[in-house]
Amino acid sequence: MSTERIHTCTEPADALTSRRADACSRQSSSAGEPMVARAGRTRLWVLIEHPGPWPYSAPEGVLPPALVDRIDAAPGHVRLALIRRPRARTADRPRWILAWSDGTRHWMREGTATGYDELAGLPFAACAAGIEPDVGAPRHVPLFAVCTHGKKDACCAELGRPIVSALTPVDDADVWECTHIGGDRFAANMVVLPEGLYFSRLGTESARDVVREYRAGVLPLDHLRGRAALSQTAQAAEHAVRSATGIVAVDALEHLTETSADSVTVVELRMSARNFRVAVQAGAPQPSFSHGCRSGGTVTWSSWIVDSIEELPAP
């Protein structure tokens, strides 16, 4: 199997659109900025229940500084986010969730605390290395976290809250609101744990479809931004192979390696007992755009280019 060069720029048709003409999500879509393979790198997720309100700086300025410092000191790709139940504004015994994945393996643990200071004793450094702790209890139910952090970026609240409302009654899905998870201009954003799958530019119907398909073991591609445990080049390779082959199982990815030379990264991956070699490189910078959301400024963007996909013979 081989392909001609593919720009990762195919975007979903069903996406909520901001009412604000200068919104970052609207300007990004209008510019044609692709979301595919743009998930920020995260292997350990630290989720802590907090009812809000959530200021711009949250989780900093909300949680005890000693706790934030302990999490920040953990090595590797770690993301801390606050979560809350839709319409719930109290948390007498805040819940914590640790979720780790390297792209092929994953685990989750959860528990509750009497107060936030108590959480500083969790073994964040070991967890960041992939070691499942014996604290709390194993969690086997997937978690769907939708960013509604409006003080960070207005698009997240404007577009995220309708997604939360649409998902809350869906088949008892465990849906939470969360603080910033990256990629405000791709709102509405949802991350699915434990795998750390980002789904972006969602609409109310497509969000329901994503949840239902995922729970059936299917990884829908139309709104898939990327698998956060992987580098962005590896995210592009996984997306390209799935698009080319029709491999849809969420857990199809079995092994992955990357080798970079000059501007090209060669990603070798095994999916559903089939082996592939994918050549990926970054495209040229595209015309920048400005937006009026709080983060403001000018955005310069590019797309990933998949030069080739080759299926390798079985060893």
Q: What is the pLDDT of residue 314?
A: 82
Region of 226 please: left (phi>0), alpha (psi -120 to 50) or beta: left
Q: What is the pLDDT of residue 262?
A: 87
Q: Domain 6-39+143-312: what homologous superfamily? A: Glutaredoxin (3.40.30.10)
Query: Distance between CA atoms of 28 and 143, rounded to whole angstroms?
Result: 28
Closest among 19, 54, 289, 22 to 162, alpha carbons compared: 19
Q: What is the pLDDT of residue 122?
A: 97
Q: What is the pLDDT of residue 4?
A: 45
Longest dimension (CA), the chain: 57
Architecture of domain 44-138: 2-Layer Sandwich (3.30)
Q: What is the pLDDT of residue 297?
A: 78
Burial of 314 (0-12, 13-18, 19+ CB in 10 A): exposed
Q: What is the pLDDT of residue 300?
A: 92
Tens-binned pLDDT, residue by residue, of the chain (315 aa): 544 455 555 567 789 999 999 999 999 999 999 999 999 999 999 999 999 999 999 999 999 999 999 999 999 999 999 999 987 777 889 999 999 999 999 999 999 999 999 999 999 999 999 999 999 999 999 999 999 999 999 999 999 999 999 998 877 899 999 999 999 999 999 999 999 999 999 999 999 999 999 999 999 999 999 999 999 999 999 999 999 999 999 999 999 999 998 899 999 999 999 999 999 999 999 999 999 998 777 999 999 999 999 999 987
Entry pTM: 0.95
Q: What is the pLDDT of residue 203?
A: 96
Considering only CA atoms, give the Rg of the chain: 19
The two structure tokens encoding residue 178? 């969360």
Residue span(s) of the chain under CATH 3.40.30.10 come to: 6-39+143-312
Residue span(s) of the chain under CATH 3.30.360 come to: 44-138
Q: Are 47 and 178 in contact (CB under 8 A)?
A: yes
